Amino acid sequence: MKKILLIEDDNDILENVSEYLELSGFEVIKAKDGAEGVEAAFNDPPDLVLCDIMMPILNGYGVFFSLSKNPLTAGIPFIFLTAKSQIADKKLGLDLGADDYIIKPFDMDFLVATINNRLEKYSNLRKLMENNLRDYVFELENMLNMTSHKVRSPLCTCMGLIQLLESEKIRGMNSDDLNKTIRGIKDGMASLDGLTHELNDFISNLRTKKIMKLGAGKY
């Protein structure tokens, strides 16, 4: 059962909307002002928030700002319910990032349809994000496995050459052998440095690709 947080300071609207939503199969958490609503959302994050704008203590814009800044509630679908019917008011609400803006008085069936629509889109977006993350991790694991094999060879070479320099054998080395040994260590370290840049570029490109793919699925 999907959980709806309803924040409304008009008690009649609060009770009527709450009752209709419960009859429509939703669990409803009621809050009579913005501060109470924010606390309720933080304590028990809902699946969607319905929020009035003109309220005491903390208005709807303040509620949206508070929820959007908290990682637990930032992605929750948010719908304004308000008597502020001016186009500028609606534009402000949507520009802030709200998912919808419903003007009072509204039809209850329209409200339920809007809620269901937003919940479905949010669910689809979450699935897309999870699939992208799963693909990202899979590709990253493959790259790390491949890189570990590439790293092991020059690393072992460098370690062997360093051990040679540390051993008694260095006393019998001529300058050419010593230079070759040092050059071998430098080449190995350069190879490791190149692999580091290669890995960083791969992760950056993979991240960009996933973000672009996710962006194409936004609503």
Predicted local confidence at residue 217, as pLDDT: 45
Burial (CB count <10 Å: 0-12, 13-18, 19+), residue 64: buried
For residue 177, give both structure tokens: 């052998």
For residue 113, the tally of other CB atoms under 10 A from its CB is 12
How far apart CA 126 and CA 98 sit, in angstroms, is: 17
Q: What is the pLDDT of residue 218?
A: 44
Biggest alpha carbon–alpha carbon distance for the chain: 96
Lowest-confidence pick of 26-35, 63-72, 106-115, 208-217: 208-217
Q: From the DSSP assignment, how many helices (H) and strands (E) are in the chain?
A: 6, 5
Q: Which two tokens stand for residue 138?
A: 């899979």
Q: Which DSSP letter does residue 6 get?
A: E
Torsional sign, CA 126, 106, 101, 81: negative
Point out the least confidently predicted range of 37-41, 48-52, 71-75, 109-113: 71-75
Local structure of 65: helix, strand or coil: helix
Summary mean pLDDT of the chain? 80
The arithmetic mean of pLDDT across residues 66-76, rounded, is 91
Name the nearest CA neighbour of 216 among 143, 124, 144. Answer: 124
pLDDT for 84 equals 76
Residue 54 has pLDDT above 50, yes or no: yes
Is residue 49 helix, strand or coil? Answer: strand
